[in-house]
């Protein structure tokens, strides 16, 4: 599934996403992600859940003291990967998917904003997650780069990962079809069109 959560700044989009990856707790209602009940999830289960998620932040959150290759390697090692050849192969394949294969040894500050966002996407997809959560992934990008990022996420979606994008950028929604929910006054409501 490819889902947009739309709404104005401050409407609760980012808070909702943080609840999905258990950085915050739901205060009302019930929620499940990947068969995990988020209302009473313990730390061990949170770690298991997060191994199946890819999270893309609007401010990239790349490790500034490591090159792009090392950023991805950090993720794989943190979820238990040990074989160096398998790690290198996965990183190479992932960087090719996002068009950064020639930037693997660059530090984050050496990349443009669009390249940093693609590196952030690479970090999110390197473990083949079942769900990708993207919080305003185009918020710091120009319109052309924004469309490229959404197209890349759609391609990843077509390869089997579900994608949830929180955005207030209606132009990107028009570029790729998806299910839409509006966040208003801290509530989600499914909508059929942008009106």
pLDDT bracket for residue 195 (50, 70, 90) = low
Q: How many domains does the chain have?
A: 1
Domain span including residue 181: 2-191
Under a CB-based contact definition with an 8 Å cutoff, are residues 188 and 182 in contact? yes
Under a CB-based contact definition with an 8 Å cutoff, are residues 8 and 168 in contact? yes
Q: Is the pLDDT confidence value at 143 over 90? A: no
Q: pTM, whole model, 2 decimals?
A: 0.90
* Mean pLDDT computed over 41-46: 94
Dihedral angle, C-alpha 172, 59, 54, 17, nearest 10 °: -70
* Mean pLDDT computed over 144-169: 90
Q: Indicate which CATH number applies to the domain containing 124.
A: 3.40.50.300
């Amino acid at each position: 599934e490819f889902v947009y959560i739309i709404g104005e700044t401050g409407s609760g989009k980012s808070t909702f996403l943080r609840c999905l990856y258990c950085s915050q707790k739901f205060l009302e209602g019930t929620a499940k992600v990947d068969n995990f009940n988020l209302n009473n999830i313990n730390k061990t289960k949170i770690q298991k859940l997060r191994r199946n998620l890819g999270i893309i932040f609007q401010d990239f959150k790349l490790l500034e003291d490591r090159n792009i290759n090392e950023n991805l390697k950090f993720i794989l090692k943190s979820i238990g990967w040990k074989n160096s050849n398998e790690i290198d192969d996965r990183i190479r394949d992932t960087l090719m998917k996002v068009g950064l294969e020639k930037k693997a040894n660059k530090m984050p500050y050496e990349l443009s904003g669009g390249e940093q966002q693609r590196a952030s996407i690479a970090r999110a997809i390197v473990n083949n997650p079942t769900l990708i959560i993207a919080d305003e992934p185009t918020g710091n990008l120009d319109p052309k780069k924004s469309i490229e990022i959404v197209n890349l996420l759609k391609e990843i979606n077509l390869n089997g990962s579900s994608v949830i994008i929180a955005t207030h950028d209606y132009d990107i929604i028009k570029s790729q079809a998806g299910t839409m929910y509006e966040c208003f006054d801290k509530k989600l409501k499914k909508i059929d069109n942008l009106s």
